[in-house]
Amino acid sequence: MILQALNDYYARLLAAPKKDVPEFGFGRQGVHFCLILDRSGALAGRPMDLRDEKGRPSRIEVPGPVGRSVGIRSNFAWDNTGYVLGADDKGKPERTAETHAAFKALAAGVLDGVDDKGARALLAFLDDWDPARASELPGWENMVGLNVVFMLDGEPGFLHDRSAFRKAWLERLSDNDEFATGRCLVTGEIGPIPPTHAKIKGVPGAQMAGASLISFNFDAAKSYGKEQNLNSPVSEQAAFAYTTALNHLLAPDSPRKVQVGETTVVFWADGPGEAEPLFGFGMGGRKTEDDALAARLERYLTDMAKGKYPDELGEASTPFYVLGLSPNAARLSVRFWHVGTVGEMAENLGRHFRALALQRRFDSDPEHPSPWRLLKELAPQRDAKNMSPLLFGQFVRSIVQGLPYPQTLLSSAIGRIRADKEVNYLRAAVIKAFLVRNRKQEIPMTLDTTNTDIGYRLGRLFAIVERIQEEAVPGANATVRDRFFASAAATPARTFPIIMKNAQHGLAKIRKDKPGWAVTLDKAIQEIVGGIDAATGFPASMPSEKQGMFILGYYQQRQDFYTKKEKNTED
Amino acid sequence: MSGIKLRVWGEYACFTRPEMKVERVSYDVMTPSAARGILEAVYWKPSIRWVVDRIHVMKPIRFDNVRRNEVSAKLPVGSVKTAMKGGGEPLRLFIEDNRQQRAALLLRDVEYVIEAHFEYTSPEDRNDGKHLDMFNRRAGKGQCFHRPYLGCREFAAFFEPVEGDVPASPLALEAPRDLGWMLYDLDYRNDMAPLFFRPALERGVVEVARALEREGVAS
């Protein structure tokens, strides 16, 4: 269904009033210069420089472009100077002569019998041209080896854009009998089946020249003696459509993609509305420069987290597609594929943010952290390189489809906290989301003193113990958290007696300066310990789910101290 | 011709789409050819041919990602022939030299009920009762010629015959889903050309026979 959906998407892009995808048989290519011909086919004036001020070529729609590896295959009515003018700086004059001959032959073949002044001018120019004259062209040293197109003097537009040229080129393509024919598995129609498809560009980590979504590049992938893409017949039209649509989604400035570690996620909706930018925003895609839009998107997320559907997203039943790709050398692999509706997407995104919702520690903490922010928090050294691509794929899929989160989410969050003893907002939020969705725990955003879960209570107790130490021994080298956090969470029965004893010493010290505060803390301890089942006492060990509750109890209790302190200073 | 019903289930399944068989992506549901493979594993004779009529999807469609180490090479036919004649090098493929890591998007926790009937391939051995009994008896006892599997050999299929009516699919209330062009079979007489058909998932059931009737097998 992926190819079908991309094929349909291409058709929609093509039908849009402001179309920014090329038609079948054409593609965008960086072109540097334009040669201007008069009607007799002579050069008129200096070649026009199409590059911008930074020397980048302008990307224009041209016929083709052909896929080229080592063989000689010319493009029609445009190409690099080696093909067009028979002169380049590669130092292989024989080969350059061959490429020029191929260019002339193709142009003559396509434009044969075309009644058009542009066609006549181009053919006359090619008949007349002597490659040795190339070096006399003004600005030749800048132009050598680069792509050039043609223009007719005094006429608007490029030669290859003239309707006669486009028509002749499309006829040429439809006459193409170079491919075997077969049933297309995308459209179901019989047509020519090209052995290779255009490359997909814009997936970081894949090869620079692009990678293939569909390819059969080693023996074990081939079946029934079929070669290359004959293993999976896709017609030329459909192959063009799906590669063009996918390249469009993956374009560098595309608002419909999110890059997370190794995985690139593209998404598109089947109709109008702001669902696409919203999804990109929620998943941490390219930040929009439009402040009004950003504010609006933030509001949608807040609405959705409350279970409301923002009308600006358009019809809730509009189909919505999410495709996750990751590179594997010259190939792309599909990490996930989801077909849903805009309404379902909004609901699932809302549910996800509802599960995550937790009181923030700082105002700078994001209210709607993206999956990428969250998973980076769980990666060693917070390095995107250490993020697990598998976990990311599973995480995004569980968000998009409203499924339970991957099991490894909890264990890697606990693992990270054990390793660096840092319990921050993002980590606590991940753990909360996991416990809420996968373990059906009821956990409010802020401290819940009525929660009797043993893990949660011990976490709170630990926060108080730490607090006592902070007050009693300010600036301690190794705090109780540094030394005991991991073992307190995993094996409370072994750890708590020790730290509770230390806490009593701490309390005694605080009592000398601030007797009232000491009583408050002591009461808090009594209240928590009183809620622990006396028969079982401190558990000998706690499973990861309870450790998650421990971390949350700790975070929320600690957060509670901060909030109270703020109130006190205000008074 | 009276048909058979077989319930099959397993933890994983991968009915690989031909266009994505390098970095595998599974079809949403079992293909008729995969279903036929399972039936043939339980009972088959040269005189009969299984025809899959209907596939009931009995569990929600769920996908998962797995990366596996596979090999990139195949044993050349030539060296197999040489080995059969007793000459040349020993027949072997070293996985260490031909390692290829491939990702797969496959199905998790699947269950299907296959409805099928058989047709005769020749005038001989025509006895409906005998073939049906043999299939049902073998399926009931868990006998099979080789272990049936769900698309890939490593995803073993468990099976049992279904007595009486097939229970309603949990997907029965979902909107019909177009499954696109799906591989039906290969035409071995015509240069192994792939045959495609256009099934839909309606009320949790893929009506193979009806889809074939509607669009025909397209080659």
Q: Can you list the residues of chain A whose pLDDT is less than 50? A: 568-571
Residue B111 Cα, gap to closest chain A Cα (Å)? 19
Closest chain A residue to the Cα of B197, Cα to Cα = A188
Strand-pairing partners, residue B156, are: B149
Contacts 24+ apart (CB under 8 A), A65-73: A65/A27, A65/A29, A67/A196, A67/A198, A67/A199, A72/A98, A72/A99, A72/A102, A73/A102
Residue B122 Cα, gap to closest chain A Cα (Å)? 27
A2 with B22: Cβ contact below 8 A: no
Closest chain A residue to the Cα of B218, Cα to Cα = A183
Contacts of A326 in chain B (CB under 8 A): 103
In order, the DSSP letters of A50-86 are ---TTSPPEEEEEE-PPP-SSS--PPSS-EEHHHHTS
A336 near B CB under 8 A: yes
What confidence score (pLDDT) does residue B51 get? Answer: 92
CA distance A228 to A218: 9
* Nearby residues of B123 by Cβ (< 8 Å), 6 or more positions away: none
What confidence score (pLDDT) does residue A242 get? Answer: 93
A189 near B CB under 8 A: no
B200 near A CB under 8 A: no
Strand ranges across the sheet with A48-49:
A48-49, A33-37, A147-152, A79-80
Find the Cα–Cα–Cα–Cα dihedral A37, A141, A103, A112, rounded to 10°.
Answer: 0
Residue B134 Cα, gap to closest chain A Cα (Å)? 32
Strand-pairing partners, residue A180, are: A193
What confidence score (pLDDT) does residue A555 get? Answer: 92
What confidence score (pLDDT) does residue A570 get? Answer: 42
CA distance A460 to A373: 26
pLDDT one-digit tens code per residue, B64-106: 888 888 898 988 888 888 888 887 778 888 888 888 888 899 9
Closest chain A residue to the Cα of B198, Cα to Cα = A188
Segment (H or E) for A125: helix A117-128
End-to-end, the C-alpha distance of chain A in Å comes to 63
A215 near B CB under 8 A: yes
What confidence score (pLDDT) does residue A287 get? Answer: 67
Once rounded to an integer, what is the mean pLDDT over residues B173-189?
87
User: Residues B105, B68: contact at Cβ < 8 Å?
Assistant: no
What confidence score (pLDDT) does residue B219 get? Answer: 46
A445: DSSP letter: S
Segment (H or E) for B12: strand B4-13
Using a pLDDT cut of 90, give the percent of chain B over it: 50
- The number of C-beta contacts closer than 8 angstroms across A and B is 104
B196 with A183: Cβ contact below 8 A: yes
User: Residues A435, A545: contact at Cβ < 8 Å?
Assistant: yes
- Using CB atoms, which residue from A188, A332, A403 is nearest to B181? A188
Tokens representing B186?
């290969």
User: Residues A182, A228: contact at Cβ < 8 Å?
Assistant: no
A481 near B CB under 8 A: no
The pLDDT mean for chain B works out to 89
Segment (H or E) for A24: none
What confidence score (pLDDT) does residue B151 get? Answer: 92
CA distance A407 to A409: 5
Indicate the pairing of strand A147-152 with strand A33-37.
parallel
Cis peptide preceding A65, ω within 30 of 0: yes
Nearest to A277 by CA among A260, A295, A264: A295
User: Residues A250, A201: contact at Cβ < 8 Å?
Assistant: yes
**Which ipTM score applies to this complex?**
0.86
